[in-house]
A = this chain, B = another copy of it.
Amino acid sequence: MSDEIDRLALANQICFAAYSASHAFARRYKPLLAVLGVTYPQYLCLLVLWERDGLSVKEIGQRLLLDSGTLTPLLKRLEAIGLLVRRRDRADERVVRISLTERGRALRATAEAIPPAVMQATGCSVAELGALRDGLLALRDNLLAEVEDEAG
């Protein structure tokens, strides 16, 4: 009769596992990122820009799955602390291009120390982390695909 697990039990919720793991990462990153003077979402923007500089707000949003409502103020803060500059694209004035400053680029070297510290803190093997990552990305893409199906 109670083969049926309690689907509303918190412990059974994959979404709570993702939610709380994501927050745990943020807390773990916080003291490490304090050295750089940035928050976790700001760090994500830097990761994207270190990979390819001069992206538009929209392109950054596509990589991080965030919209301009979130990114505009965030990028303004990064500009205010001198890590990047925001400039309208000459060829298309609707577009704002984000370019790292010298300081923004230089920060990359300091940031190299962060990932190994976090990986060590997870207490997981490389194989486990890889499997977890792949599972999460597949799950995430399925969730988002269904959301878009409905919109379209």
Contact = CB atoms under 8 A, between A and B. Distances in A.
Given A22-B18, A132-B14, A8 B50 contact: yes
Interface stretch (A23-31, A88-96, A97-105): A23-31
Nearest to A122: B139
A76 interface: no
Interface of A: 7-29, 31, 40, 44, 47-48, 50-51, 63-65, 108, 111-112, 114-116, 118-119, 121-124, 126, 128-133, 135-140, 142-144, 146-147, 150
A108 to B, nearest CB: 7
Nearest to A117: B11
Contact of A140 (B20, B51, B126, B133): B20
Count of this chain's copies in the oligomeric assembly: 2
Contact of A130 (B10, B128, B138, B144): B10
Nearest to A65: B20
A147 B115 contact: no
Q: Which 9 A-B pairs rank lowest in CB-CB distance, beginning with the nearest? A: A11-B115, A123-B142, A17-B136, A22-B22, A7-B115, A21-B140, A24-B143, A11-B119, A15-B25
